[in-house]
Amino acid sequence: MSNPHRPRQFDLIAFDWDGTLYDSTQIIVRCIQAAVTDVGGQTPSQAQAAYVIGMALMPALAHAAPDVPKEKYPLLGERYRHHYAQHHNDLSLFEGVLPLLQALHERQHLLAVATGKSRKGLDEALHQVALRGILMLLAPQTKPLVSPIHACCMN
């Protein structure tokens, strides 16, 4: 961003959320581990729990807890959300992300997030870090498909 008068190369810039803009790895790992333990599964290692970050929630939990029966998946998801809600204020943007996004926004770039988070969950996170109105959610539960990005470009 050394020259703010340089022509834009791209109109739309889409980011992943967890682990790209937001440093949430340790909290997600601990919440996965706690949720699996809550429903009687064998607690996944840190590496096993971290491996699923970026996947949609239920497939991620199922992968991290292969010994948990499918009929317990709704409870597993509820327990994960419970633990995550206790820590959602503990998350922080990586250093330099906020000034970068603000500078891109000032240059009139469309900024978007592709994430498996719900719209409500992302809206709350964006509000916490003063990014509401700067980043738009492409479409929840669609990552890593590119069709939401195409749809965004057509508008």
- The tens place of each residue's pLDDT in the chain, 155 residues long, gives 456 566 778 888 988 887 788 888 888 999 999 999 999 999 999 999 999 987 888 999 999 999 999 999 999 999 999 998 898 677 688 899 989 999 999 988 989 887 777 777 777 777 777 787 788 776 554 455 555 555 555 55
pLDDT of residue 35: 97
DSSP codes of every residue in 12-49: EEEEE-BTTTEE-HHHHHHHHHHHHHHTTPPPPPHHHH
Residues 98 and 112 in one domain: yes
Residues 40 and 75 in one domain: yes
Residues 19 and 29 in one domain: no
Q: At 115, phi and psi to the nearest 5?
A: -150, 160
pLDDT of residue 142: 47
Please give the model's pTM, rounded to 2 decimal places.
0.60
In a domain, 2, yes or no: no
Residues 110 and 75 in one domain: no
- CATH code for the domain in which residue 103 is found: 3.40.50.1000
Per the listing, tokens 């948990």 go with: 68
- Domain encompassing residue 83: 25-90
